[in-house]
Amino acid sequence: MSNYPHPIIAREGWLFVALALVVALALSIAGLWLLAVPAWLVALFILQFFRDPPRAVPTVPNAVLSPADGRVVKVEKARDPYLDRDALKISVFMNVFNVHSNRSPVDGVVVGAWYHPGGFVNAALDKASLDNERNALHLATAGGQNVTCVQIAGLIARRILCYVKAGDTLTRGQRYGFIRFGSRVDVYLDPASTPEVVVGDIVSATETILALLPAA
């Protein structure tokens, strides 16, 4: 499990940022401005993509926090395919301009983790939940609630990174993974949970409350 101080730029992007800056700088020194200008724009894009700012953690009891930045594309009753149960499903779509660091939605123990290879259709589409490459975590809270959090690759995203395994303990807002270049996160909750967002809402990882779990 990885837990490190927020470095502003995610460590997953350090190599990409360094290479982009070296290329842009080299082209500038060589005076090749027709190439240098686009190279600097690419470097700036990569720099903003891998930003990883610290976030304030809400202390609302039973709150389920957004595991990702993005736009809510689904709030519905659905079947949790990982725990085979009825659930409230909330999906957040991340575009290439969102922060792609993923954070735990609740305090809990990782009961199980599943990786599934798959395709790379547009992550905003419903079928991405079951067709795309994905990594799911089953989190059990101290109050006896089960939360399933699924990282899903997108049309451009080709790498899901998850740093936790069964037996690890996560605190709400703790960084546990990263998805490169556009993707989606699905959260499955107790169907009696109360959603705090609607489709179309813009949410921030950790700082936005997606739902409230039913009281124990």
CA angle 82, 68, 216 (to 5 degrees): 55
Contact 140, 166 (CB under 8 A): no
Residues belonging to the active site = 183
Distance CA 153, CA 150 (A): 10
Q: Residues 200, 206, 212, CA angle at the centre, nearest 5°?
A: 70
